[in-house]
């Protein structure tokens, strides 16, 4: 799009003294004539873009021109850049780099060095260990569908392993609990639903457009959906003290250390196959105190596991 190209050219010119028109043409896959028209458009918008002749010539911003950065403090800029960098690792989108350049091009070398020091004090990396290209592709496809108001189709596998074909109107990508989710209007259920991206298969962006529905995300509606789940079970879990750091990582302040040294956790989780597997993953270092029926289910599953290895 022309607007995106103009913004990208402006950011590049603010960061560099000279840029060759042919280099810009190759970068944006357009003709040199198109680049020259873009330069003219920037001039009409009040940006003093000039052409320099000679060996070191090219297109550049007139000397002395600067953007006003007084609206943001260095700490505020550091916070914004940290956020942009964290998303850039998870969501492959050139817009993030353009925004980063916009915030940094107005700084001197000394100011940029100070800003980098502040930014490096906090690093937020949302990407999984080892990377996950398939997940990134899903995130990018859903973002594009949401921006263009297009429906998407996919096969969804729920926690019980059941497969259903879904067609939805995407509204929001949500990163919560180390996982990506999609909040969307489900045409099958005729209601808003929360979908886990890792359970989506065969995702397709449809050609069908949708009219946005009225929805307020300020109150995080998926939180109320979680609290209203009918299969939530109240658990009392007793962990060996050697797992203290792992228990705190998973359950945080829900943990209560017992006088004997073991750790008691009282929490509320949805009862499904994921829960059984999650509890079994702690092995003999965990005992489910309550409820009794969970103890029975885990005991039966442990017996079946034992049979396979004896």
124 lies in a domain? no
Shared domain for 187 and 247, answered yes or no, is no
Shared domain for 148 and 100, answered yes or no, is no
* CATH number of the domain to which 246 belongs: 3.30.70
143 lies in a domain? yes
Shared domain for 206 and 143, answered yes or no, is yes
Q: In what order do the strands lie in the sheet with 179-186?
A: 191-196, 179-186, 163-176, 150-157, 200-209
pLDDT of residue 214: 82
Measure the CA–CA gap between 136 and 310, rounded to whole angstroms.
41
Measure the CA–CA gap between 288 and 299, rounded to whole angstroms.
10
Shared domain for 92 and 41, answered yes or no, is no
82 lies in a domain? yes
Read off the pTM: 0.52
Q: Report CA torsion sign: 93, 6, 76, 217.
A: negative
Shared domain for 31 and 81, answered yes or no, is no
Q: Which of 199, 227, 255 is the last residue of a domain?
A: 227
DSSP 128: P
- Do residues 123 and 82 touch, judged by C-beta distance below 8 A? yes
276 lies in a domain? yes
- Range(s) of the domain holding residue 107: 74-119
* Count: domains in the chain: 4
Dump the DSSP string for 73-109: -HHHHHHHHHHHHHHHHHS--HHHHHHHHHHHTTS-H
Shared domain for 257 and 283, answered yes or no, is yes
68 lies in a domain? no
Residue 209's alpha-carbon distances to 148, 170, 202, in angstroms, are 8, 11, 19
Beta-carbon neighbour count of residue 288 at 10 Å?
Answer: 19
pLDDT of residue 123: 65
Tens-level pLDDT at each residue, the chain (310 residues): 566 777 777 777 776 667 888 888 888 788 888 888 888 888 877 778 877 777 677 888 776 665 544 445 666 666 666 666 666 666 656 666 666 666 666 566 666 777 677 767 666 666 666 666 777 788 888 988 988 999 999 999 887 678 899 999 999 888 876 778 898 999 998 988 889 888 889 999 999 999 988 877 666 666 665 555 567 888 999 998 888 878 877 877 656 666 667 888 888 888 888 889 989 999 999 999 999 999 999 999 999 999 998 8
pLDDT of residue 71: 46
- Residues with Cβ within 8 Å of 20's Cβ and at least 6 positions away in sequence, in order, are 58, 59
- Do residues 156 and 203 touch, judged by C-beta distance below 8 A? no
Beta-carbon neighbour count of residue 209 at 10 Å?
Answer: 10
Shared domain for 137 and 206, answered yes or no, is yes
């Amino acid at each position: 799009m022309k607007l995106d190209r103009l913004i990208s050219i402006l950011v590049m010119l603010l960061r560099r003294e000279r840029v060759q028109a042919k280099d810009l043409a190759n970068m944006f896959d357009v003709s040199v004539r198109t680049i020259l028209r873009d330069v003219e458009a920037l001039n009409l918008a009040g940006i003093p873009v000039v052409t320099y002749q000679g060996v070191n010539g090219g297109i550049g911003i007139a000397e002395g021109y600067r953007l006003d950065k007084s609206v943001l403090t260095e700490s505020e800029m550091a916070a914004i850049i940290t956020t942009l960098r964290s998303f850039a690792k998870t969501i492959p989108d050139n817009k993030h780099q353009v925004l980063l350049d916009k915030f940094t091009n107005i700084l001197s070398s000394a100011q940029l060095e100070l800003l980098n020091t502040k930014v490096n004090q906090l690093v937020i990396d949302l990407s999984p260990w080892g990377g996950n290209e398939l997940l990134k592709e899903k995130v990018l496809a859903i973002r594009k569908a949401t921006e263009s108001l297009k429906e998407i189709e996919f096969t969804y596998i729920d926690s019980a392993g059941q497969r259903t074909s879904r067609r939805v109107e995407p509204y929001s990508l949500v990163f919560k609990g180390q996982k990506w989710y999609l909040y969307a209007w489900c045409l099958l259920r005729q209601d808003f639903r929360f979908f886990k991206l890792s359970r989506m298969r065969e995702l397709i962006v449809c050609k069908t457009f949708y009219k946005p529905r009225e929805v307020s995300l300020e109150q995080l509606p998926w939180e109320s959906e979680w609290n209203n789940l009918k299969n939530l079970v109240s658990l009392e879990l007793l962990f060996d003290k050697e797992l203290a750091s792992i228990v705190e990582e998973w359950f945080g302040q829900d943990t209560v250390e017992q006088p004997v040294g073991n750790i008691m956790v009282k929490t509320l989780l949805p009862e499904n196959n994921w829960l059984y597997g999650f509890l079994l993953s702690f092995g003999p270092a965990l005992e489910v105190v309550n409820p009794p029926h969970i103890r029975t289910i885990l005991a039966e599953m442990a017996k079946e596991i034992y049979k396979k290895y004896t």
